[in-house]
A = this chain, B = another copy of it.
Amino acid sequence: MSDKLNAPGLAFDTQAAPEKRKNESIADWLGRQIVSGVYGCGDPIPKEMDFLAQTGISRGAYREALRRLAGKGMLVTRTRSGTRVTPRESWSLLDPDVVRWSFESGAPPDWYIRALYEMRAMIEPPAAAFAAERRTEADLQLFRDALQAMRYCEMTEDSWHQADASFHRAILISSHNPVLLSLESGICAAVAYTTAFRYRDMPNPHTRNPVDEHAAVFERIEARDPVGARRLMSELVDTALLDSKGTTVFDLGLPTLKV
């Protein structure tokens, strides 16, 4: 059963990982391995001595990497039994690292992209409503900067995705809900990776720059109109969702939620 572990595939070469600390790059590598399904639910992780023997990495660095992943609920360790992968529902699927690993290691599964869009559809409209009630003048400037960057960048550029993420980050910041803000890294990573993923694999870039829709949301937030901001934001997310994969995969669920 453990042939997969001792297989030559245990080559740890820190692929595309410019991390300085070894325990960090090990955690990155192992995190990618896990989210990409190399180790399924309940599967055992390489034993400390095996990993040490095959990679030359010291035991301490490997153990610290395991603790990073254990803190995200991805691993459980028991003496003698070894360290095993926990079922997906106990992971922190909105953790920015988990989102990054999922998109860095090949194409993430459809259910994950879909679930991330659904989360955005749940969170961002009410967040926009809170933002309309609580935004400060300093918050408004964040929106203006993001919108200006979106106008002056082509959608194919990487900088456009950054500007898009900045806009959605401004929403969460302006909501002035600390717990919501703590989801910022994960949400923005999801926004950036899903949009980049969409435009990379869509052969027909008929989609136009949605900067006007974003500006409309901002205008409602500036006007302190929670209801309007919520509605426009809901439309914005729904549009992105419908654009992403066609209506065949994503057509259930969200439309019936529009109020």
Binding site for B on A (CB under 8 A): 23, 27, 60, 63-65, 67-73, 88-97, 111-112, 115-116, 118-119, 121-123, 126-127, 129-130, 133-134, 177-185, 226-227, 230, 252-253, 256-257, 259
Q: How far is the CA of A180 from the CA of B63 in the complex (A)?
A: 29
With a cutoff of 8 Å between Cβ atoms, the chain B residues found around residue A92 in the complex are: 92, 95, 182
CB distance from A58 to the nearest CB of B (A): 11
Q: Are A257 and B71 in contact (CB under 8 A)?
A: no
* Residues in B whose Cβ lies below 8 Å from that of A93: 178-179, 182
- Judged by DSSP, the binding face of A is helix
Oligomer copy total: 2
Give the contacting residue for A88; candidates B91, B129, B178, B252; CB below 8 A. Answer: B178
Residue of B nearest to A132 (CB): B256
A252's partner among B63, B118, B133, B179 (CB-CB below 8 A) is B133
Residue of B nearest to A129 (CB): B257
Give A252's nearest chain B residue, CB to CB: B133
Which residues of B lie under 8 Å from residue A90 when comparing CB positions?
A: 182, 185
Q: In the complex, A167 Cα to B226 Cα: how many Å?
A: 30
Contact A88 B123 (CB under 8 A): no
CB distance from A241 to the nearest CB of B (A): 13
The complex places the Cα of A259 from the Cα of B125 at a distance, in Å, of: 12
Instruction: Name 16 interchain pairs, CB-CB below 8 A, sorted by A.
Output: A23-B67, A64-B64, A65-B67, A67-B67, A72-B72, A73-B185, A89-B181, A91-B182, A92-B92, A93-B179, A93-B182, A94-B183, A115-B179, A119-B180, A122-B127, A126-B257
Q: How far is the CA of A67 from the CA of B60 in the complex (A)?
A: 12
**Docked pose: A68 CA to B64 CA in angstroms:** 8
CA distance A2 to B69 in the complex (A): 31
B27, B64, B127: which contacts A63 (Cβ < 8 A)?
B64
Contact A226 B60 (CB under 8 A): no
Q: A253 touching B130 by the CB < 8 A rule?
A: yes
Q: Are B226 and A178 in contact (CB-based, < 8 A)?
A: no
CA distance A92 to B133 in the complex (A): 25
Alpha-carbon distance between A130 and B121 when the two chains are bound, in angstroms: 12
Distance, CA A64 to CA B70, complexed state (A)? 10
Chain B residues near A185: list those with CB within 8 A: 73, 90
Whether B133 and A253, one on each chain, are in contact in the complex, defined by CB atoms closer than 8 angstroms, is yes
| Cα separation A118 to B130 with both chains bound (whole Å) | 10
Contact B94 A182 (CB under 8 A): yes
Give the distance in Å from the alpha carbon of A95 to the alpha carbon of B89 in the complex: 13
Q: A64-B67, A127-B122, A179-B119 are in contact. Are A89 and B253 (CB under 8 A)?
A: no
